[in-house]
Amino acid sequence: MSATPLRRGLSLSLGWLADRAIPRPLRAPIFRAYARAYDVNLSEVRLPLEEHPSMGAFFVRRLIDGARPFPSDARVFPSPCDGTVQSIDRIERDTILQAKGRPYSVRELLGPVGSDVALDGGHAWTIYLSPRDYHRVHTPVAGSLVEAVWLPGARYSVAPKVLAARPKVFSINERCVMRIETARGPLFYVMVGALNVGRIKVVGVEQASSGRLGSPRTLALGEELARFEMGSTVILVVPPGGPLPGSDLPPGKSLRMGESIGYWPR
């Protein structure tokens, strides 16, 4: 399903506005107002506020070193992003849950990526990024990015209260699906676009090159992988034998990148 002209036009218009340069004297007051509205911790921002030329630049702001440390314990499976736990599901009969028990197909979600991997018995973590969160996504394990596929689709809102009323948003919205090969098997990342999110950027990979990478990109633990140029949702999909969910992650729990969301069984 493609995005309707109205939704696409709205997203493009908001993206254009987000990229407009803000006069330097106005930047700090505008970004402080944004921070108050969304409870953004400005003490973590790496650059002075006036060094962010636009709202879009502030939205993908970088953080100071050490703001999101990754665990040294190799058994810990850390969150790749800030956000809020929406659901953590065991994959059964090709099904995971979106919200309020609404099922959708993991194969539809991933598109052509991972068709060679048996996923039943694995798990999926769904993490929603709100306007307050750090919007760069990092890798929770060392490995190689071998595939990045952009899938066209709709641009429905992914706000939790909206998902309760509209089925299968994650598997019909525009999204980028990535495959990372690790020493412990493959991981799949799905970055889901939304109503106002038309730009999902993968570090070192152009959307025009969608598909298998000619040269896999080596990733160290905690290295930046991709970013949303507005907020949305990250879904981590792992096959059986991969990491298992932690026991203290109820829906609605806030996460910081690097915080434990599970553990490796071996």
Please state the φ and ψ torsions of residue 40, each to the nearest 5 degrees. -85, 135
Quick check: is 138 catalytic? yes
CA nearest neighbour of 171 among 187, 186, 156, 188: 156
CA nearest neighbour of 31 among 51, 15, 47, 55: 55
CA distances from 81 to 117, 174, 228, 231 (A): 25, 19, 11, 11
Q: Which of 11, 82, 135, 171 is catalytic?
A: 82
Q: Which of 87, 133, 138, 171 is catalytic?
A: 138
Quick check: is 123 catalytic? no
Quick check: is 232 catalytic? yes
User: Beta strand 244-245 with 260-263: parallel, antiparallel or unpaired?
Assistant: antiparallel
CA nearest neighbour of 163 among 86, 54, 227: 86
Q: Which of 11, 79, 87, 232 is catalytic?
A: 232
- Residues with catalytic roles: 82, 138, 232
